[in-house]
């Protein structure tokens, strides 16, 4: 099974290498993946390592594909179709909560609410893993050049349409939003900082090769 997962070199299994480091200090327990994505690769990664994994995504096809991949790999992922911002999430339940590259779909206020839910969902010593497309990313350039989008706040664009360039959203209100490094450090000021970095990464998973400005924060919940 390990070879079946790690031996596949297509785009579906190009998971974040920092997750490997996380396994060294995340206590064995439950994992929550907020925004499974169309492949569920991060949820599957932790499931194969023996963690109990819950996942949430608003896209029904993403949940279906994640469950199918889990079945093919002989592992289990508990996945539900739901809006991350309103999903019922138990408090103190998880050893790690992942929220990767889904923040651009929410307003700043809703994103802050999701972070509060992440923090409450973690047990003491649990780890929050946040990955965002940072300000200056290509998605902001697209919003700036799209006449339907208007700048409505710090690093926040808004348009009244139900599609985010082909991606399903929870309503007809569509946002392009990002946190800065300073935002995340402030919002997680009560957590122990484990990692925080900004980088420019190449994306070869779709269309022509292009780059994304990426911000990653990892922190541990203090007693």
Does 8 score more than 50 pLDDT? Answer: no
The pLDDT value recorded for residue 206 is: 63
For the chain, domains (ranges, CATH) are 2-135+177-221 (3.40.50.150)
Rounded Cα distance between 129 and 17, Å, is 13
Ramachandran region, residue 20 (left: φ > 0; alpha: ψ -120 to 50; beta: rest): alpha
Highest mean pLDDT among 19-33, 102-116, 137-151, 181-195: 181-195
Model pTM? 0.86
pLDDT tens column, 154-189: 888 888 765 555 444 444 448 888 899 999 999 999
Q: CA torsion 68→71→75→76, rounded to 10°?
A: 60
CA atoms within 13 A on the CB side of 160: 0
Q: Is the sign of the CA dihedral 73, 76, 82, 85 positive or negative?
A: negative
Q: What are phi and psi of 137, to 5 degrees?
A: -65, 165
The pLDDT value recorded for residue 37 is: 85
The pLDDT value recorded for residue 17 is: 76
The pLDDT value recorded for residue 92 is: 96
Does 78 score more than 90 pLDDT? Answer: yes
For the chain, the average pLDDT equals: 84
Helix-helix angle 41-48:60-73, to 10 degrees = 30
Pairing of strands 30-34, 52-57: parallel
The pLDDT value recorded for residue 162 is: 54
- CB neighbours (10 Å) of residue 155? 19
């Amino acid at each position: 099974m390990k070879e079946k997962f790690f031996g596949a070199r297509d785009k579906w299994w190009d998971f974040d290498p920092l997750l490997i480091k996380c396994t060294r200090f995340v206590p064995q327990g439950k994992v929550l993946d907020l925004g499974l994505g169309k492949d569920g690769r991060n949820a599957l990664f932790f499931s194969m390592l023996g963690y109990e994994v819950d996942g949430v995504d608003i896209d029904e096809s993403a949940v279906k594909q994640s469950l199918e991949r889990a079945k093919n790999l002989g592992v289990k992922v508990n996945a539900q179709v739901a809006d991350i911002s309103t999903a019922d999430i138990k408090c103190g339940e998880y050893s790690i909560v992942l929220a990767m590259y889904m923040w651009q779909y929410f307003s700043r206020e809703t994103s802050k609410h999701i972070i509060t839910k992440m923090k409450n969902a973690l047990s003491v010593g649990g780890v929050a893993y946040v990955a965002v497309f940072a300000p200056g990313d290509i998605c902001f350039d697209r919003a700036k050049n799209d006449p339907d989008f208007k700048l409505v706040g710090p690093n926040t664009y808004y348009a009244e349409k139900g599609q985010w360039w082909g991606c399903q959203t929870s309503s007809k209100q569509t946002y392009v939003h990002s946190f800065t490094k300073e935002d995340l450090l402030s919002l997680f000021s009560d957590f122990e900082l484990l990692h925080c970095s900004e980088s420019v990464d190449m994306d070869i998973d779709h269309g022509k090769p292009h780059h994304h400005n990426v911000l990653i924060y990892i922190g541990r919940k203090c007693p």
